[in-house]
Structure 1
Amino acid sequence: MMTRARWWAEPPPGQASYLAGVDPALLGVALDPMPAGAPAVVRFRPAAARPVGEYVTAFLDALDLAALNLFPRWLPAAEHFDGASGLTVAAVRAVAAETAGRSQHFGPFLAFTAERALRHRRGDAVTDQLRFPAEVRARGLGAILADAYQRPSVAVLVDMPQGLDADGGRALVAAAVWLAEQGRFTVWLAGQAPQAVDRIPVVQLALPDDLTHLAADTAQITAPDNQPVPPVLAYPPLTGAPRADSPAEQALERALAPHPWARGRQWNHVLEWHLLGKAYRLDLYWPDDGLVVEVDGDDHRDRWKFADDRHRDARLQLLGHDVLRFTNDQVLTDPIAAALTIRDLLLLRRSPLTWK
């Protein structure tokens, strides 16, 4: 019998399905960090009223950028290739071809994407992503993302746009079916029910108790009117590194890197604090000093995320940690000031006179 702890396994794998009665933002909380054994989950937020082809193109273009940003995690043997010479490009293509030869990757696409990712890492303009047909891109990018997260597959959580009319709903469902069939993704549509929902299975999820309690706690809270526009595609951070899609985390890492007092930090560490408790992903963590630093983007204004943050902070403090929060704007405006605030709290916790 399926347990609530494995709620993500209830929708049929490798297919598109509609998750009835579940807010996609609440699922976003459940998927951070990604549960053990679950597929790598990316969150797709398409615009309303688009043809099928435009939905597919928007997803593939966003996934392509994610693959470039996550390089070389999906091609570990290429980690030392960062030069500008043609020989280096040839070398990274050779590594990709060798990797494809002992895997299910399509060699030409993997080598092509590896070269583009290397150029992207150097800051060069990267184009020509449309050299391969959409079907090849979908399957190739899905395999690349699965390798980046060392997961067997990739699932796509689709936020259904508000105010979607019948034609738009049918187009989005058709695009979801295409992604599942051609790209071998598992696709979850959540939010407003599409008009053509009869084309795909409807799944009633049994969510874990912590999520049902969170939903009950925030049932009377309304979202603010000035909600920020979310990105088209959101993908999980990689353990041990700042988020590839967070300029704020990247800026803070650059500000911290030169300083000996900042050693021992861990980016996007998953803290397993209790066998039966929900694991926490910590943006930045000094385990020896018990300091947690969170860099909050606009998504933390979401009611589910905001409530979950408060629960997390209380639990971490009960475990003896200090929790320091910055907004993205604070870090990007003055990353040095953020780093110095972290330094002061680290030194305070390291003082032999400090009660812990």
Structure 2
Amino acid sequence: MSSGVRWWSEPPVGQASFLADVDPALLGVGLDPLPAGAPAVVRFRPPLALSVDRYAGAFLDALDGAAMSLFPGWLCGAERLDGPSSLGVEAVRALAARMAAGTEHFGPFLVAAAERALRIRGGLGPGDGPRFPAEVRARGLRALLAEAYRRDHVAVLVDIPASLPPAGEHALAVAAQWLAEHGRFTVWLAGPRLRSVDRIPVIRIRLPAGLAGLTEGAGPGPEPDGGGAELPVLSFPPLSGAPRADSAAEQALERALAPQEWARGRRWNEVLEWHVLGKAYRLDLFWPDDRLVVEVDGDEHRQRWQYADDRRRDAQLQLLGHAVLRFTNEQVLTDPYAVTVTVRDLLLLRRNAPNRK
């Protein structure tokens, strides 16, 4: 690209491309929060050396799981439904049919997805719904994700596994092209160069200066390469105003905070734009009146670029007058009560500070 402006715009919709000399983990840092005008970006970490069919199935199953987790974000009005009772099922089917009538959504797929998501939300499991061809699933899932994030397009950032054999490279490339073409996704392949595949266009993008600067002199984290931790097959951005749909720790912390009177005023996964030229920050949990930020860190925060970015943003937030607390997923899931006590104590301390403005 000749400019850093709209650096996320290549490759175009419906195409799979290889991003040359781009670390997918670093790119993931730059896409959190999603820049204005960028597609919704989900990150896929495929297993090794599968066939084309199995890679395509892995793509679809992961995207389906994301769509189900993001419900009711993609179906307006469904948040008011109590559960999968007979009346609830009829109501969600009616909402989906009404939505499909005036949009690009394929009605039968949307109705079936809405009913299945309502059942999952109610703890009943997905049930037995109609089966759709893979091409219909791909297009339908892309539409659901775009709707959830209120974005025009959806991109899939694929981490190419290290030491992928030639047969695996070929299978992954073909499956990525299939997903892009049939689902109308933008697909970015990043990481080790595909040595035995020449059908994937290679493009170069210029990352923003802030990201490039992150690589200069960034000290390693406690486990710079992620420590061998099991990262999710698919990770996707949170919806503003709610705990991450794919984070059991954030969900558990919200359940612990919800009954507490002192915890009112909290905001989940909102974006703080602190300077017109500065990188915006998505804050896991934020009390804006008290300037208290709480971060819940999964294993990805042990990766080098994420760790460096966390340290840089913590320092900037503190310079802006915010207090920052960080907890690991394990801390929250093991003892949510201890975490809430720590949050409460600091929150009340800040509220009672004599120089509070």
User: In which range does the TM-score fall when normalised by the shorter chain?
Assistant: over 0.9
- In the other structure, the counterpart of 1:93 is 93
1:69 aligns with 2:69: yes
Aligned to 2:193: 193
In structure 1, how many angstroms separate the alpha carbons of the residues matched to 2:146 and 2:53?
Answer: 24
* 1:153-202 deviations in Å (ceiling 9; x for gaps): 10000000111111111111101100011000000000011134421211
Q: Which amino acid aligns with 2:53?
A: G
The count of residues paired between Structure 1 and Structure 2 equals 356
Q: Secondary structure at the match of 1:151?
A: coil
- Unaligned 5+ residue runs, structure 1? none
After TM superposition, what 4+ stretches of structure 1 lie above 4 angstroms from structure 2?
Answer: 127-130, 219-222
The amino acid across from 1:263 in the alignment is: R
In structure 1, what is the Cα distance between the partners aligned to 2:193 and 2:202? 10
Q: 2:287 maps to which residue?
A: 286
Aligned to 1:319: 320
3-state SS in 2 of match to 1:4: coil
1:207 alignment partner in structure 2: 207
Corresponding position of 1:335: 336
Q: Secondary structure at the match of 1:216?
A: coil
Q: Secondary structure at the match of 1:170?
A: helix
Aligned-partner residue type, residue 19 of structure 1? L
Could you say what secondary structure the match of 2:21 adopts?
A: coil
CA distance 1:265–1:156, shift in 2 (3 Å): same
TM-score by length of 1: 0.96
**TM-score, length basis structure 2:** 0.96
Identify the residue that residue 240 of structure 2 maps to in structure 1: 239
Question: How many angstroms apart in 1 are the aligned matches of 2:56 and 2:10?
Answer: 25
Aligned to 2:142: 142
Moved more, 18-27 or 3-12: 3-12
Change (3 A) 1:290 1:57: same
In 2, are the aligned partners of 1:82 and 1:118 still within 8 Å (CA)?
A: no
The within-5 A match list for 1:43-58 is 43-58=43-58
TM-superposed deviation, 1:218: 3.4
Asked whether the equivalents of residues 219 and 308 of structure 2 are also in contact (C-alpha less than 8 Å), the reply is no
Query: AA paired with 2:138?
Result: A
1:108-133, Cα deviation, whole Å (9 max, x unpaired): 00000000000000111214477111
Root-mean-square deviation (CA, aligned residues, Å) is 1.7
Assess, with a 3 A threshold, how the Cα gap between structure 1 residues 237 and 225 changes in structure 2: closer, same or farther: closer
1:336 counterpart letter in structure 2: Y
The CA distance in 1 between the partners of 2:317 and 2:288, in whole Å, is: 12
Check whether the contact 1:294–1:324 (CA below 8 A) recurs between aligned residues: yes
Q: Is the 8 A contact 2:45 2:160 kept in 1?
A: yes
Deviation at 1:43? 0.3
5+ residue gaps, structure 2, are: none
C-alpha change, 1:332 and 1:354, in structure 2 (3 Å) is farther
Q: Distance in 2 between matches of 1:129 and 1:27?
A: 37
Determine the structure 2 residue equivalent to 1:300: 301
